[in-house]
Chains A and B, each alone.
Chain A
Amino acid sequence: MTRISARHLMVLLMLVSLVVWFVGCASKPPKEERAAAEQAFKTAQVAEKCAALTYTAAENALLKARRLTTEKKYDEARHYFVVAKELAEKARREAAANEECMNPKPVSAGAPAESTESEDEPVLTGTNNPDFELKPIFFPFNSDEITEEAKATLADISAWMNRFPDVSVAVEGHCDDRGSTEYNLALGERRANAVRKVLILLNVNPDKLDIVSYGEERPLVDAENEEAWSRNRRAEFKKRWNR
């Protein structure tokens, strides 16, 4: 009992010192943090492909921090610069660990060069195209688990959505046709919700995300076999421009 109280006290002390620290720094642009974050992010570019999810999270945090700086919300901005820096470093570590991805077999020529690159914002290949294709993600049987592959897709979608604030996305949850109509409607809803939660974690504005479950009603592949079922257990993304 006393040990727990001591621990509580420590946590409280830490919280207090954090608040004091925040107050102390209030209303000054977070120049140092920004420089550190930008530097870390540039160094982490190598991770764009090989640790896509973390990289995108870093990118989103950085974009948000920049926006907050422009809005003169310095305390929040500082927080996000720190987060961005940590995420960028993490992405670089993850990428370094992903040898298969870092040393790929030679493939075709690289992506077309970007000409609209500005000083402040790094190039965002693919997801800077308003017509970026939102690919479906797939789920295991009777599950709303977001697989590693799906996370990479969601990272791209979040980057794209953060890039284009005028776009809303409807997340559609779908199921294979085994099991009851009613249960599958609930399962599809749960899948769409799980996707929405991940996108929000990736800094997508919740107001830009709608969900709808179609249960087993709109199969991608109209057949009764393992391959068809695995393709039908999915979330699809529908764009809507609010211009």
Chain B
Amino acid sequence: MMTIKGLRLTGYLLIFLLLPTTAMAQLVIDVDPANFRKYPVAVTPLKNFGETEDTAGLAAEGQAILMNDLAIAGLFEVLDPKAFLEDPKTSGITEATVNFTQWLQVGAEGLVKGGFWIMGDRIKVDLRLFDVALGREMLKSAYERDAGDFRRMMHAFADEIVGFFTKEKGIFSTRIVSVRRVNKTKQIYVTDFDGNGGTVMVDNNNINLLPTWSHDGNHLFFTSYINNNPDLYRVKAKPGAKMIKVSNYRGLNVGASTSADGQRLALTLSKDGNSEIYVMNVDGSQLRRITHSWGIDSSPSWAPDSKRIAFVSDRSGTPQIYAATVSGDAAMRLTFQGNYNQSPAWSPRGDKIAFCGRDERLVFDLFLVDPDTREIVRLTQDQGNNEDPAWSPDGRHIVFSSTRTGESKLFIMNADGTNQRLITKQPGSFSTPDWSPRLEVLK
């Protein structure tokens, strides 16, 4: 059974196998991206099994959320429901009540189905994934939560589906923090990773900048001018939470980046008369200076090993991406093309650093640089200015800001630049996003 499943799936998912178990590893024969084909999957509307009428349209909403998540994952070809042959009235959500031949005919190889019960303020859901060719249920999850958590239950199942295929859960239970401009002020704003559920976290009628998540997703760090100097603050990731001062040296206290082990913050301070990179404990103690150059040093981003930091420096005359160890060894220059490279973001997998570069046409676009080989890959082109890259916790996706539709909005894409899509659904101008770690939203 395991072998059959493995054989069937590896054909599609070879390159996504992050940490193959020994059993799976033997099946990974040919890791050639050119051979990768997306796994065709159909998602049906959910069935209402309860007594209460579905006035909110959960049947269609659940289907839409699952379809969107799977499309974003980049592993699946999500089939258009218009082509479905099945009669939703007569079919069920179990092996015995699904006509798999009909699904084979529409080209589905995976099938996602589910049902729900509305029980006052609570909703119960039952969600399943089938292998169409085998006619077999591969995954099943049931949740019961407050009605307000309906989207989260769908995201949780999408996480399970991705986890089933890749051994690593999806990133659908995550959120994105960014800066939203409202007239002359800037708010700290959080949405789900897909742009839904917009929440103003900090709004003090002043300028608030460069928000980042703590390593566990419980807190946000950001810089605010509320005290007339760009000081660094921390808040619980809840609307209207109390601002706690972390660093208020004279001059800049900006761009906090939390190490993956959650122990330390890297940030830019200018207290010594020039902007330099420093590392401190998350409570602000044990400050240590990392860079020593006459030029601008800013925008630190931790490597996942919590030992190295990528940053921007114009010590060569133009802003370029560098990497240094926290122990203070000599910094190494990574970018040599272009004369305006900024905003490094070290992938959680460690093998790539995303950054923003200005090309010969003076347009800002996103690139990757390999910190070892210094090889550059371009991710965006001919679509407005694209800036501020930040990685999803699994290192498969990048969120960024783009002016391609006019005002600056947030977009996500796969780490290879494919599958670019707008996520911002709210009015206003959005910038400097940061992607949360996986959040245990259904706990």
Contact of A186 among B184, B210, B228, B296 (CB under 8 A): B296
Segment 39-91 of A: residues with Cβ below 8 Å from B:
none
* A230 CB within 8 Å of chain B: no
A239 to chain B: closest CB distance in Å? 15
Segment 339-389 of B: residues with Cβ below 8 Å from A:
340, 342-343, 356, 358, 364, 387-388
Closest to B296 in A: A186
Residue numbers in A under 8 Å from B179 (CB-CB): 181
* A142 CB within 8 Å of chain B: yes
* B93 CB within 8 Å of chain A: no
Query: Are B228 and A182 in contact (CB-based, < 8 A)?
Result: no
CB-defined A-B contacts under 8 Å, sample of 18:
A180-B299, A181-B179, A182-B210, A182-B342, A183-B298, A183-B299, A183-B319, A183-B342, A183-B343, A185-B252, A186-B268, A186-B298, A187-B296, A190-B275, A212-B229, A212-B230, A215-B209, A217-B186
* B44 CB within 8 Å of chain A: no
Closest 10 CB pairs of A and B: A186-B275, A180-B342, A186-B296, A182-B299, A180-B343, A186-B298, A182-B255, A182-B298, A183-B342, A217-B207
Query: Are B340 and A142 in contact (CB-based, < 8 A)?
Result: yes
Known: A179-B340, A182-B268, A186-B270. Is A213-B252 also a contact (CB below 8 A)?
yes
6 more CB-based (< 8 A) A-B contacts, given A181-B431, A189-B251 = A142-B319, A182-B210, A182-B298, A183-B319, A214-B225, A217-B209
Interface size class of A (residues with CB under 8 A): 20 to 34
* B57 CB within 8 Å of chain A: no
Residue numbers in A under 8 Å from B209 (CB-CB): 181, 185, 215, 217
Residue numbers in A under 8 Å from B186 (CB-CB): 217
Residue numbers in A under 8 Å from B247 (CB-CB): none
In the bound assembly, the distance between CA atoms of A185 and B268 in angstroms comes to 10
Contact indicator per residue, chain B 210-238, by CB within 8 Å of chain A (1) or not (0): 10000000000000010011100000000
A121 to chain B: closest CB distance in Å? 35
* B158 CB within 8 Å of chain A: no
* A93 CB within 8 Å of chain B: no
Interface centre among A185, A187, A213 (most CB of B within 10 A): A185
Contact of A185 among B274, B298, B340, B356 (CB under 8 A): B298
Contact of B388 among A180, A185, A193 (CB under 8 A): A180
Contact of B342 among A179, A193, A215, A218 (CB under 8 A): A179
Contact indicator per residue, chain A 189-228, by CB within 8 Å of chain B (1) or not (0): 1100100000000000000000111110110000000000
Residue numbers in B under 8 Å from A185 (CB-CB): 209, 230, 252, 254, 268, 275, 298
Segment 120-134 of A: residues with Cβ below 8 Å from B:
none
A165 to chain B: closest CB distance in Å? 23
Closest to A211 in B: B251
Residue numbers in A under 8 Å from B318 (CB-CB): 142
A232 to chain B: closest CB distance in Å? 14
In the bound assembly, the distance between CA atoms of A178 and B339 in angstroms comes to 13
Known: A182-B254, A183-B296. Is A213-B230 also a contact (CB below 8 A)?
yes
Residue numbers in A under 8 Å from B364 (CB-CB): 178-179
Residue numbers in A under 8 Å from B427 (CB-CB): none
B367 to chain A: closest CB distance in Å? 14
In the bound assembly, the distance between CA atoms of A170 and B320 in angstroms comes to 31
Residue numbers in B under 8 Å from A212 (CB-CB): 228-230
A140 to chain B: closest CB distance in Å? 14
Query: Are B230 and A183 in contact (CB-based, < 8 A)?
Result: no
Closest to B207 in A: A217
Query: Are A213 and B299 in contact (CB-based, < 8 A)?
Result: no
Closest to B184 in A: A218
Interface centre among A183, A212, A215 (most CB of B within 10 A): A183
In the bound assembly, the distance between CA atoms of A193 and B273 in angstroms comes to 8
Closest to A189 in B: B270
In the bound assembly, the distance between CA atoms of A217 and B432 in angstroms comes to 13
In the bound assembly, the distance between CA atoms of A179 and B274 in angstroms comes to 19
In the bound assembly, the distance between CA atoms of A189 and B295 in angstroms comes to 12
Residue numbers in B under 8 Å from A213 (CB-CB): 230, 251-252, 270
Residue numbers in A under 8 Å from B340 (CB-CB): 142, 179
* B282 CB within 8 Å of chain A: no
Residue numbers in A under 8 Å from B254 (CB-CB): 182, 185
* B312 CB within 8 Å of chain A: yes
In the bound assembly, the distance between CA atoms of A180 and B275 in angstroms comes to 15
Query: Are A182 and B230 in contact (CB-based, < 8 A)?
Result: no
Interface centre among A142, A186, A187, A190 (most CB of B within 10 A): A186
In the bound assembly, the distance between CA atoms of A142 and B317 in angstroms comes to 10
Known: A178-B364, A180-B299. Is A189-B275 also a contact (CB below 8 A)?
yes
Residue numbers in A under 8 Å from B255 (CB-CB): 182
Interface centre among B255, B298, B432 (most CB of A within 10 A): B298
Residue numbers in A under 8 Å from B298 (CB-CB): 182-183, 185-186
In the bound assembly, the distance between CA atoms of A179 and B296 in angstroms comes to 14
In the bound assembly, the distance between CA atoms of A180 and B186 in angstroms comes to 16
Closest to A181 in B: B432
Segment 176-225 of B: residues with Cβ below 8 Å from A:
179, 184, 186, 207, 209-210, 225
Contact of B387 among A180, A186, A189, A214 (CB under 8 A): A180
Interface centre among B270, B297, B387, B431 (most CB of A within 10 A): B270
Interface centre among B225, B254, B387 (most CB of A within 10 A): B254
A206 to chain B: closest CB distance in Å? 12
Closest to B255 in A: A182
Residue numbers in A under 8 Å from B270 (CB-CB): 186, 189, 213
In the bound assembly, the distance between CA atoms of A187 and B312 in angstroms comes to 12
B399 to chain A: closest CB distance in Å? 15
Query: Are A180 and B252 in contact (CB-based, < 8 A)?
Result: no
Residue numbers in A under 8 Å from B312 (CB-CB): 180, 182-183
Contact indicator per residue, chain B 50-78, by CB within 8 Å of chain A (1) or not (0): 00000000000000000000000000000
